[in-house]
Homo-oligomer: A and B are copies of this chain.
Amino acid sequence: MDDTFLDRLRSIVGEANVLASGDLSAYEQDWRGWWTGKALAVARPRTSQEVADVVKVCVAAGVSIVPQGGNTGLVEGGVPDASGRQLVVQMGRMQAVRQIDEANMTVTVEAGCVLASLQQQVRDAGLLFPLSLGAEGSCMVGGNLATNAGGTQVLRYGNARDLCLGLEVVTPAGDVLHSLSGLRKDNSGYDLRDLFVGSEGTLGIITAATLKVFPLPASTVTCWAAARGIEEAIGLLGLARQHLGASLTGFEFMDETGLDFVVRNMPMLRVPFADSLPPYSILIETSGPEPEPQARAVMEALLESALQQDLITDVVLAESGEQARQLWDVRENIPLAQVADGPNVKHDISLPISAIPAFVARSQETLSLSIPGVRIVNFGHLGDGNLHYNVQGPEGCKPQEFMARHGEQVTKLVYQEVAALGGSFSAEHGVGRVKADALAAYKCPTALRLMRAIKAAIDPLNVMNPRPYDEAAALKP
């Protein structure tokens, strides 16, 4: 069977674009090397029609498909399982920017375009595509949409979902959904676009998208403020919204423990207030059409008001783009600085912003009671209610031992507090295989039933990126 199947694939995408032997580890393993599967083969189609034909061949052969972009996901959603019976459909050859439409402020791009390349091509046209995240040098637009990627500009421009106006998708039946027209208003039926966005390749393969672009901001102003507590940090967020309106592009926070890792382990980075770290540090970025002096004046007025209201105790305003970059570097290197002390239990959670102080207090208490000396590193996109909440073993412990002994316990305690406060166990990384158990445990049962019904309706043969929770559903009476 396999030879016939592979021959059919070759006749669609060409001999060179079916990989069935040799080292396929780049496709079988996620980029961090945490999970390794075994693929039946890898197909690299060039057009949406080729994708559709590949899907039909898979359906006929009873082979399931794992769509794959840059393979930078964090939840084991883009690598095959261990069966050796799944086909990886790698989208990297569909990388064209089909059109930049300046009057409509849209770009139409294929799924395999690397995010940084899309950003650059849009910038070359004098415009901004604002989606920005750590993996942008290798992640692909199709994957960004399939996972509803977040990143650092969500506060102003939204998630990948909010940037998407239309999609081209190959369905599990091998049909092509044509919906790339780039309309800002379209109430002609169910919102299929948003169903595919964030569905992690389980409902179809996104082959192209029409996305919003924006004017390049004329100015960007960045500052770094010190706050005594999380309540003050949230108060500052409210004040920033009032002063800055839609110019507020970034509002990131970092706790003292996280920055202490940076101070100790990355001495080349200049951490503000390093001599006496405040409980919380905040990075604020504003950008917009105003000339820089005007934007700085607005930021200064905000900071003055925040000092007067005792929301912040100190502040540094970046004097140049270079200084702003250095501040962002500190923020972005916390995970790396933490790695120097060994692995830790990571969580990508979100909460209503008003519930964050209670979460911080309760989870700190619960974790410290359960595991005395445990170290919590809490940082992330406060403006979106998105915390990267990492838990490291007590000073001097053996990290691997801590992970093995306490990893699951820690995650359960954290997710329970999150759920009790109306939060989500996955803010921006998705579900994949890694969080399938959390989905079953914490999602509203009605939501789970609806999800399973939709999956079964659109993909009755379970061809597209089958997941543990689909299989659980299949066993249901």
Chain B proximity of A447: nearest CB distance (Å):
6
Instruction: Report whether B159 and A424 are in contact in the complex, using a CB–CB cutoff of 8 Å.
Output: no
A263 beta carbon closer than 8 Å to chain B: no
Residues of B contacting A186 with CB < 8 Å? 350, 424, 426-427
Which chain B residues lie closer than 8 Å to A244 at the CB level?
Answer: 289
A189 CB-CB contact with B under 8 Å: yes
Residues of A76-126 contacting chain B, CB below 8 A = 101-106
Other-chain contact of A457, B102, B242, B384, B454 (Cβ < 8 Å)? B454
Query: For the complex, what is the distance from the CA of A191 to the CA of B234, rounded to whole Å?
Result: 28
Q: Smallest Cβ distance from A153 to chain B, in angstroms?
A: 13
Q: Is A246 positioned at the interface, with any CB of B under 8 Å from its CB? A: yes
Decide if A458 touches B447 in the complex (CB within 8 Å).
no
Find chain B residues with CB under 8 A from A162 CB.
Answer: 162
Of B150, B194, B294, B431, the residue contacting A188 (CB under 8 A) is: B431
A106 near B247 with CB under 8 A, answer no
Q: Which residues from B are CB-within-8-Å of A198?
A: 187, 190-191
Complex contact A289–B242 (CB within 8 A)? yes
- Which B residues lie within 8 Å of A175 (CB)? 445-446, 449
User: CB within 8 Å of B: which residues of A?
Assistant: 101-106, 147-148, 150, 154, 156, 159, 161-162, 171, 173, 175-192, 194-195, 197-199, 203, 215, 217, 234, 237-238, 241-247, 288-290, 294, 298, 350-355, 381, 384-386, 422-431, 435, 438-439, 442-451, 453-458
Once the chains bind, are A447 and B217 in contact (CB under 8 Å)? Answer: no
Copies of this polypeptide in the complex:
2
- Taking CB atoms, residues of chain B closer than 8 Å to A435 are 188
Cβ–Cβ < 8 Å partners of A188 in chain B: 424-426, 431, 435, 438-439, 442-443
Q: Are A454 and B449 touching (Cβ within 8 A)?
A: no
| A184: B residues at CB distance < 8 A | 154, 350, 384-386
10 A-B residue pairs with Cβ-Cβ distance under 8 Å, sorted by A, are A101-B354, A104-B352, A104-B353, A105-B353, A177-B447, A183-B422, A185-B427, A188-B426, A189-B451, A243-B289
Q: Which residues of B sit under 8 angstroms from A443, Cβ to Cβ?
A: 188-189
Q: In the docked arrangement, what's the CA distance between A4 and B194, Å?
A: 42
Task: Report A220 CB to chain B, min CB distance, Å.
Answer: 12
Contact in complex: B187, A148 (CB < 8 Å):
yes
Complex: how many Å from CA A89 to CA B455? 29
Q: Cβ of A427 and Cβ of B103 under 8 Å apart?
A: no
Provide the bound-state CA to CA distance between A191 and B431, in Å: 13
**Do A245 and B352 touch (CB < 8 A)?**
no
- Asked if A215 and B242 make an inter-chain contact with CB atoms under 8 angstroms apart, the answer reads yes
Measured between beta carbons, the chain B residues less than 8 angstroms from A444 are 177-179
Output the least CB separation between A340 and chain B (Å). 28
> Could you say which residues of chain B place their CB within 8 Å of the CB of A298?
289-290
- Report the minimal beta-carbon distance from A342 to chain B, rounded to whole angstroms: 28
Of the listed residues A105, A178, A243, A289, the one surrounded by the most CB atoms of chain B closer than 10 A to its CB is A289
Which residue of chain B is the closest to A357 with respect to CB atoms? B103
Q: Which residues of B contact A191 (CB under 8 A)?
A: 148, 161, 194-195, 197-199
Q: What CA separation (Å) do A240 and B184 show in the bound complex?
A: 17
Task: Evaluate contact between B422 and A181: CB separation under 8 angstroms.
Answer: yes
Contacts of A449 on B, CB cut-off 8 Å? 173, 175
A178–B446 contact, CB under 8 A? yes
- Distance in Å: Cβ of A431 to nearest Cβ of chain B: 6
A477: shortest Cβ distance to chain B, in Å? 15
Q: A148 contacts which chain B residues (CB < 8 A)?
A: 187, 191
Whether B454 pairs with A185 at a CB distance below 8 angstroms is no
Give the CA-CA distance A178 to B353 in the complex, in Å: 19
Residues of chain B within 8 A (CB-CB) of A386 are 184-185
Task: State in angstroms the CA–CA spacing of A156 and B191 once bound together.
Answer: 21
Closest Cβ–Cβ distance, residue A353 to chain B (whole Å): 5
Top 3 A-B residue pairs of the complex, sorted by shortest distance between their CB atoms: A246-B246, A457-B457, A181-B422
